[in-house]
Amino acid sequence: MRMLHTMLRVGNLERSLTFYTEVLGMQLLRKRDYEDGRFTLAFVGYGDEDQNTVLELTYNWDTEHYDLGNAYGHIAIGVEDAYAACAEIKARGGNVVREAGPMKGGVTVIAFVEDPDGYKVELIQQDHNAQNN
């Protein structure tokens, strides 16, 4: 077994696609409109769906906003340098809501950015020479 994708409902598909592709550097892997169901699915990620877990963006044509709820946490992305990633994300117009730095009570460097719908994306600096905390 392996994880295939995580699905997020978005209020504006083009705005979300711009964020995930242009700000976070993912690729649009596939996109399809479902006329009868009045929704569009777009899959984005850092590699082919056969080998990588991806993100499914679901746009329901008649819904512009969702309440995020308080049970959902965030998406996590591994990065080489969280400080540089934050700078690049800001330069591309992204919203960094927690600057890069060690996590509370640990040494792993993390940061958080927010997508256009308010979903949090955690950046985790991948230190391949030490064990993550």
Write out the catalytic residue numbers. 122
Q: Is residue 61 within 8 Å of residue 13, measured between CB atoms?
A: no
Tell me how far apart the alpha carbons of residues 90 and 79 are, in angstroms, rounded to a whole number.
15
Backbone angles phi, psi at 72, to 5 degrees: -75, 140
- C-alpha dist (Å) from residue 99 to 16, 23, 87, 90, 112: 22, 16, 9, 11, 7
